Structure 1
């Protein structure tokens, strides 16, 4: 799409956000928008971006200023670069955060939004914020494919159809049970709250029965038991949308919170690797969780825009 078209779209976004158009201006806008499908697409893209910024931060000045600068410098190469960055950056971040597999999933949740789904067999599925699954239910099987994020599963008994949760790392076959499954880097984390699951890696190297109070990490080549957990504590954390951590490296905790932020969280892993976290953090309020971390550790949170945070070391 040409820079001239983007500049035209930015001009109309600014004029519409400044206030009501006159009848003549509205007719001009309508003619421009219907003259070419690319006009409407460019306008909707920029208007959608500004709308997201305004929803996250009521003050619209930053977005307005960026668009205004692009319009004022429409004939200046520097202005073209600025507008190119304005358009390309949110699109790149959006595609990184929300790939097609997420957008086309059978069930998905936005960051900080938990959702309970009643399945047709009587089972129950709860998706944590920023999660996505595909569902395959037929006469032979009941399958949940976890594409991203974390789910809590309560399985209804059905002797004729196995219930499985599948990820790229392997498969978990439930034996009438309650458990959580989380996609991580690397691997898939299985936490058993009730009964037993038979876990198999994608390469079918081994099958491990994971029982209530146990955790296992599944990778494409193995299933490894990690140790014991308190099912009641894990269940309570789910119910209250909390992240309970005990002596975990700060970068790992930031990874968890970044998934719920809905924007870009930037930090230097090596710079923060020696810092450890023990806390109960609100996953449905990641900005509050980050501030709690900053209150207790030598780090600070810097906001460059409603969609971009930086966490950096700051000796107090």
Structure 2
């Protein structure tokens, strides 16, 4: 690949195109080959791509809620293409669940919160919750991401976790709740958890609630592996590559694009170090014929070896 770090002047059009590609690839990964052709069609495009990435990376060091869900436009002005538009920052703040949350985390950040009753929450990266405690209720709403709950027992005041997919009710227990793109997972380390009034989970049990159908799929899990992400490593069993990538994406700025849909749907089982996303991605896809390439610190592309081969 060309050296994209040489300092040189580039045209406003190239900067605008680079900014548009940075946004488009997040929602249209199937256009990666078009992007790759654009990138290699002119040496100036490499420098434009590098400049836009460096500027975006600078914005990425802002608080967590400024990093995702940027508004897309058909044609961005130069400043927006260079990712320094103050309006874009404000729009991101307004749209992000973390902006309205009582507690939230950013990329690769975890956070432990002790509630008024002594219960503890550990938030995974890019997670957000609201808390409502009063004389008659203990309630936490999971807005996004994943949280491990260690709940103090109180028979007179049940503890509830709510999300768009489920209502989880406990008295005192330790369990993990994760909102994914396609549904919600509940895993129990200790005690008993009720989910949607239909499932009663004991230690070592879990249930997946599919968002589209609303149906639950119970299974088992080793209790010690529940919320393993707190210590850096997370075990995945018979999940799609896309599900693992969705988790890893929370541990680095920018995006991980899966170019090959067939690869995204392949099922895997393994233990991955969430603190080293590039190494984890290599371990994830290499055994199934995939390859990982970084086009910048903000864009990692995964595909089969034939689809990501050098042009």
TM-score, with length taken from structure 1:
0.66
Partners of 2:105 and 2:126 within 8 A in 1: yes
Aligned residue for 2:222? 230
Q: 1:191 to 1:119 in 2, by over 3 A?
A: same
Aligned residue for 1:101? 97
1:281 equivalent to 2:265? Answer no
Deviation at 1:86, TM superposition (A): 2.2
1:249 pairs with one of 240, 251, 264: 240
Deviation at 1:142, TM superposition (A): 0.8
Deviation at 1:51, TM superposition (A): 2.6
Deviation at 1:121, TM superposition (A): 0.3
Aligned length: 243
Equivalences for 1:77-226 in 2 at 5 Å? 83-87=79-83, 99-200=95-196, 206-219=197-210, 222=214, 224-226=216-218
Deviation at 1:305, TM superposition (A): 2.8
Aligned residue for 2:65? none
Q: Which region of structure 1 is more displaced relative to structure 2, 289-298 or 122-131?
A: 289-298
Aligned residue for 2:25? none
Partners of 2:176 and 2:226 within 8 A in 1: no
CA RMSD, 1 decimal: 3.4
Q: Higher helix proportion, which one?
A: 1
Partners of 1:191 and 1:216 within 8 A in 2: yes
Q: CA separation in 2, counterparts of 1:167 and 1:264? A: 25
Partners of 2:242 and 2:265 within 8 A in 1: no
CA deviation digits over 1:136-169, x for unaligned, max 9?
1111111111111111101112233221000011
1:51 pairs with one of 58, 78, 86: 58
TM-score, with length taken from structure 2:
0.67
Please, which runs of 5 or more residues in structure 2 have no aligned partner? 1-11, 16-52, 63-75
Aligned residue for 1:299? 290
Q: Which has the larger radius of gyration?
A: 1
Partners of 1:261 and 1:287 within 8 A in 2: no
Partners of 1:93 and 1:264 within 8 A in 2: no
Q: 1:111 to 1:158 in 2, by over 3 A?
A: same
Q: CA separation in 2, counterparts of 1:300 and 1:150? A: 28
